[in-house]
């Protein structure tokens, strides 16, 4: 099996593990991010992450925590195939000789390049996911009377293609998606490699055990959100914004309005669930990737 096929297979399995472990946390994150700012003197819909979990379970049951999973699950093979394959091909370009270990700086470059590629898959996937995850929150907003109700991922895609500018509508939020994926993946792969080399005591990380992959993967995932979280908030609010009566005119406008009305805190709505998700989800992803890649030779 060639390196591309190995990266494709390993990345797919790693992505599936990441999605299964992390999606409920992601649902709560998006609900907190997209809830409208409360009117003066009124409390927000959700008091915090645990309150969002309780309300979701009460209203929708456990299935509510997995809303929107169909879209990323359907594309997880393509997404992770692109991410790990592009990263692998960039590693091959930067490697001076076969089998040579790349430096942390080179892994940062590989991660950034992979981030550019996956943004074109992440943007429409995230738009569909966020619409499904956030619709119960948006139903309580002032625009509830005209809110579109979606029956599932394909229903979201059909509605956007028909009523929101065709294919272009599926790429709403592309700028903040790029601004999240490029630096985020640069940090993820850089931190992951740095931690592996630190635990191995040198550049040769081939003898590391599964526990090391779990630790390095979990901390790399946490570093991703520490780096790009406000950008993710901007992406989410733009992607769930009403097409006919938009609240925001673009990424900069969204940033300014959120900062003006809610301060720095508004740019970190849902940060707790995102961090709680990032460690186990990315630990599962990198562990599954490394074990599968190793088993393939």
pLDDT in tens, 3-30: 888 888 888 888 888 888 888 888 888 7
* pLDDT value at 280 more than 90: yes
- Pick the residue with more confidence: 2 or 190? 190
- The total of structural domains in the chain comes to 1
Give the pLDDT band of residue 145 (cuts 50, 70, 90): very low
pLDDT in tens, 62-109: 888 888 777 667 677 678 778 988 998 999 999 888 778 889 999 999
Looking at residue 166, its pLDDT comes to 94
Closest C-alpha to 182, from 108, 89, 112, 109: 112
**C-alpha angle 178-84-79 in degrees, rounded to nearest 5:** 55
**Residue 153 maps to which CATH number?**
1.50.40.10
What is the domain extent for residue 17?
1-296
273 to each of 17, 31, 50, 74, 75, how far by Cα in Å?
18, 10, 9, 23, 23
* d(C-alpha 236, C-alpha 230), whole Å: 10
Any idea which residue has 């991703």 for tokens?
Answer: 224
Q: Are 30 and 270 in contact (CB under 8 A)?
A: yes
């Amino acid at each position: 099996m060639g390196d591309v096929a190995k990266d494709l297979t390993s990345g797919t399995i790693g992505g599936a593990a990441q999605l299964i472990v992390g999606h409920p946390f992601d649902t709560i994150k998006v609900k907190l991010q997209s809830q409208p700012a409360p009117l003066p003197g009124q409390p927000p819909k959700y008091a915090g992450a645990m309150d969002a979990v309780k309300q979701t379970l009460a209203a929708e049951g456990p299935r509510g925590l997995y809303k929107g999973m169909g879209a990323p699950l359907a594309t997880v093979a393509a997404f992770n195939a692109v991410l790990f394959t592009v990263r692998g091909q960039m590693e091959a370009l930067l490697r001076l000789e076969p089998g040579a270990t790349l430096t942390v700086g080179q892994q940062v470059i590989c991660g950034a390049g992979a981030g550019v590629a996956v943004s074109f898959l992440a943007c429409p996937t995230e738009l569909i996911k966020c619409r499904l995850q956030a619709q119960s929150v948006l139903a309580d907003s002032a625009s509830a009377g005209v809110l579109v109700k979606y029956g599932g991922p394909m229903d979201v895609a059909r509605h956007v293609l028909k009523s929101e500018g065709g294919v272009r509508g599926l790429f709403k939020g592309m700028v903040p998606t790029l601004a999240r994926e490029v630096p985020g993946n640069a940090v993820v792969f850089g931190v992951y490699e740095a931690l592996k080399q630190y635990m191995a005591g040198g550049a040769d990380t081939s003898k590391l055990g599964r526990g090391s992959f779990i630790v390095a993967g979990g901390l790399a995932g946490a570093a991703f959100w520490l780096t790009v979280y406000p950008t993710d908030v901007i992406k989410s609010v733009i992607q769930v914004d009403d097409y006919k009566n938009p609240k925001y005119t673009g990424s900069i406008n969204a940033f300014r309005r959120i900062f003006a009305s809610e301060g720095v805190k508004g740019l970190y709505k849902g940060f707790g669930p995102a961090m709680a998700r990032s460690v186990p989800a990315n630990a599962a992803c990198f562990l599954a990737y490394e074990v599968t890649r190793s088993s393939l030779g």
